[in-house]
Structure 1
Amino acid sequence: MSIFDASGHEQVVFCHDPESGLRAIIAVYSTALGPALGGTRFYPYASEEEALTDVLHLSEGMAYKNAIAGLDHGGGKAVIWGDPGVDKTEALLRAYGRFVESLGGRYVTACDVGTYVEDMDHVARETRHVSGRSPESGGAGDSSILTAFGVFQAMRAAAQHRWGAVDLAGRTVGVAGLGKVGRHLIPHLLEAGADVVACDVDPAAIGRTAANHPQVRLVADADELIASGIHIYAPCAMGGVLNESTLKTLDAEIVCGAANNQLAEPEVAVELERAGVLYCPDYVVNSGGVIQVADEYDGAFDFKRAERRTLGIFATTARILERAKGEGTTPVAAANAIAEERIAAVGRLQRLRMFR
């Protein structure tokens, strides 16, 4: 892939520190609304090209997520190429932090797949431009709690749009992935009276769920999950799960989950619409986490304030679904249009120069 074919990205930075083993890529898609904000993914990619493709895709998605969440942040993302269980060290994370600092605030990092609050504490020792730190280090802590809360709010809005009521009692929700977000989503669903079916590739996550929530029905894998008579499918693990194959067996009226990049191809959004499946755009649904890290970065973190802002995901989702219905388009197209309108309208203000 040519770097200059990076789909309109403002900046792509390759970071290499041989002594610590750091191999990272930081992609800044847009700073039209403010400093690019997006997490750091630590993942054992099969190739350098795969890592580059992922960070370009993810950083573009963050620009839309931050815009539609009403944040004064553009979109960026970083990936560290390696196995977090083997390659992650304090030295590597601090070396990465120095590269983040070198961008002078154009990019603000946080947690993502393979990175946690304690990792951001190490990164923060080398840069000011980091969020998602532990409370002991002055941060907000685990952002997956508000991410799950936001997913639940989007799900309620989707239920209202599809069935005329936000009530999930008696509905069956399939949660694929019981990690950072899925584990926090399940209590919301159970409290709302929903029946929950779940799966995960990690035996420890399965065991934890079985112990904490014995009423949850656990199945072998996502293939069994999507064909098990569910009303709502909530992908909460890795992306690309909605594809030609899963569309053939998907037995749900709503898809609303926390995973990033759920659509294997953009055309899948149209296929879901044709199949009568209401798809809630993932970057809208899972924006509770970025609302939290933005609240931490932009000032003294206040959980109640961030929670109130996350509650707004309900209204945002409802607005998107209504616009899509009114315009005869997909929810993805409607969400993209709303985000692009805000980027254009608010982003132009940065070009204004005021003098005193």
Structure 2
Amino acid sequence: MVLTEKQQKVLDLFEEMEKNGHEQVIFNYDKATGLKSIIAIHDTTLGPALGGCRMWNYKTTEDAIKDVLRLSKGMTYKCGVAGVTHGGGKAVIIGDPKSEKSDELFQAFGSYVETLKGRFYTGTDVGTVGMDFVSAGKQTKYLVGLPEEYGGSGNSAVITAYGVWKAIKATAKEAFGKDSLAGLKIAIQGLGKVGQCLVKHLHEEGAKLIVTDISQDNVAEICQQYPNIEAVKPEEIFSVDCDIFSPNALGAVINDETISQFKCHAIAGAANNVLAEERHGDMLHDKGIVYAPDYVANAGGLIQVADELQTYNKDRAFKNAGLIYDILSDIYQISRVKNIPSYKAANILVETKIEKIGKIQGKFTGK
């Protein structure tokens, strides 16, 4: 039997799902609003899937599929390492977030989230903001990260930066034998909401900071607020002679081109998917650069929105985000004992946890 091109694409998608362990991929189209959305549920062993909704002007549908599959799998690992009772999921909306948003579009999206009846909870991500989900909330209750005035926990950048600060301290302990950042030279790539909050923590602890951002306004604002901070051009940040490099902008910044430029001893930041490929994590290990796996370091925001689902308690959320320090310490120990890259050690930690909890939940409890 000869498969048509359309049949072959379906077969390829199932192969991707099988390879990466995805449970479900849902394609949603709404004629009235033009909504084109994909929801991917990776693994629900730990509980209902949780993950943000990204709106992006993807060049092709295939690009959107690849992104939602990759991101949803990452959320399973982030939920697992953060200790929340959720699995991994993600949603993407295909469209220009600057010109194609509307109340009706997000209501349509919310209606499709509602059909999953709690298998998937979602909220803000790249290209979306809290008010988008106020619109979606007119059609579904399975949302997190709403603005405070609408019953949510509000801006997650503050707790994300707090968790990254703890991750940097744990990484400093592994690389230099002590977790004090006083006097350490830290290069910060990205001065968005998280990066700006992170600068405050690091500056207050006495670190020497070198910063960059594609927005000169962001750089100027930080340098005005902290006059002793040095700024460099975006393309220069990778080759800065520093103790710790902190990526807080785009992903895939650890790649063949940048690794040869690094003059740091450790890497820890808030950016997602900073390894262009897993082999780049192997290369960092071989070079003796301590690397904080991104989904561990930046788990603070996830911890906050997951806490909403049991009535948000700020103190509890920050307490749990502070545990990122201990989690990373365990990961570094596994890395040392097994002599494997830290990203592999983190994966082992999460996969072992998911396997054990899966067995626990598989027991008959008399219900």
TM range (shorter): over 0.9
Q: Tell me if the contact between 2:188 and 2:210 (Cα under 8 Å) persists in the aligned partners.
A: yes
Moved more, 154-163 or 205-214: 205-214
Deviation for aligned residue 1:261: 0.6
Q: Which residue in the other structure is 1:62 paired with?
A: 75
Q: Which residue in the other structure is 2:323 paired with?
A: 312
Q: Which residue in the other structure is 2:21 paired with?
A: 8
Measured in 1, the distance between the counterparts of 2:332 and 2:243 equals 18
Moved more, 84-93 or 25-34: 84-93
**1:180 maps onto 2:193 in alignment:** yes
Q: Report matched runs for 1:192-203 at 5 Å.
A: 192-203=205-216
SS of the counterpart of 1:84? coil
Per-residue Cα deviation, 1:106-143 (whole angstroms, up to 9, x for no partner): 11102111122222222222211110011111110011
SS of the counterpart of 2:98? helix
Per-residue Cα deviation, 1:241-263 (whole angstroms, up to 9, x for no partner): 11000011011111101111111
Q: Which residue in the other structure is 2:352 paired with?
A: 341
SS of the counterpart of 2:306? helix
Amino acid at match of 1:46: K
Amino acid at match of 2:292: C
Q: Report matched runs for 1:1-356 at 5 Å.
A: 2-5=12-15, 6=17, 7-221=20-234, 223-297=235-309, 299-355=310-366
Unaligned runs of 5+ in 2: 1-8
Amino acid at match of 2:285: E
Moved more, 267-276 or 206-215: 206-215
Percent of residue pairs identical? 39
Q: Tell me if the contact between 1:32 and 1:348 (Cα under 8 Å) persists in the aligned partners.
A: no
Measured in 2, the distance between the counterparts of 1:96 and 1:213 equals 42
Measured in 2, the distance between the counterparts of 1:149 and 1:228 equals 24
Q: Tell me if the contact between 2:56 and 2:93 (Cα under 8 Å) persists in the aligned partners.
A: yes
SS of the counterpart of 2:36? strand
* TM-score between the two structures when normalised by the length of structure 1: 0.96
Q: What root-mean-square deviation, in Å, do the aligned CA atoms of Structure 1 and Structure 2 show?
A: 1.3
Measured in 2, the distance between the counterparts of 1:338 and 1:42 equals 31
Deviation for aligned residue 1:235: 0.9
Query: Judging changes above 3 Å, is the alpha-carbon distance between structure 1 residues 174 and 346 closer, same or farther for their aligned structure 2 residues?
Result: same
Amino acid at match of 1:350: Q
Deviation for aligned residue 1:175: 1.3
Number of residues of Structure 1 aligned to a counterpart in Structure 2: 354
Deviation for aligned residue 1:12: 0.5
Structure 1 stretches of 4+ moved >4 Å: none
Deviation for aligned residue 1:344: 0.6
Deviation for aligned residue 1:350: 3.1
When Rg is computed on C-alpha atoms for both structures, the one with the higher figure is: 2
Moved more, 77-86 or 314-323: 77-86
Deviation for aligned residue 1:184: 1.1
Moved more, 82-91 or 13-22: 13-22
SS of the counterpart of 2:187? strand
SS of the counterpart of 1:59? helix
SS of the counterpart of 1:175? strand
Measured in 2, the distance between the counterparts of 1:207 and 1:305 equals 35
Q: Tell me if the contact between 2:174 and 2:290 (Cα under 8 Å) persists in the aligned partners.
A: no
Unaligned runs of 5+ in 1: none
Per-residue Cα deviation, 1:206-239 (whole angstroms, up to 9, x for no partner): 3332333333222221x30111212111111111
Measured in 2, the distance between the counterparts of 1:213 and 1:22 equals 44
Q: Tell me if the contact between 1:121 and 1:133 (Cα under 8 Å) persists in the aligned partners.
A: yes
Measured in 2, the distance between the counterparts of 1:40 and 1:67 equals 19
Q: Tell me if the contact between 1:124 and 1:130 (Cα under 8 Å) persists in the aligned partners.
A: yes
Q: Tell me if the contact between 2:255 and 2:275 (Cα under 8 Å) persists in the aligned partners.
A: yes
SS of the counterpart of 1:26? strand
